[in-house]
Amino acid sequence: MESRAPVLGLASIVLPIVMGALWVFLERHPHVGDGLNGYLGMFIAIFLYLGTLTSVVGGLVLGITSLIREKTKVLAVVGIIANCVLMFRVHG
Tens of pLDDT along the chain (92 residues) come to: 456 788 999 999 999 999 999 988 888 887 776 665 567 778 888 888 999 999 999 999 999 999 999 888 999 999 999 999 999 988 77
Q: Tell me, what's the pLDDT at 41?
A: 75
Residues 6+ apart with CB under 8 A from 26: 32, 33, 44, 48
Q: Is 13 within a domain?
A: yes
Q: Tell me, what's the pLDDT at 27?
A: 83
Q: Is 1 within a domain?
A: no
Work out how many domains the chain is built from and give that number.
1
Q: Which of 66, 49, 68, 50 is nearest to 14 (CA)?
A: 66
Q: Is 18 within a domain?
A: yes
Q: pTM for the whole thing?
A: 0.83
Q: Is 2 within a domain?
A: no
Residues 6+ apart with CB under 8 A from 12: 59, 60, 62, 63, 66, 75, 76, 79, 80, 82, 83
Q: Which of 58, 63, 91 is nearest to 77 (CA)?
A: 63
Structural domain boundaries, residue 28: 7-91
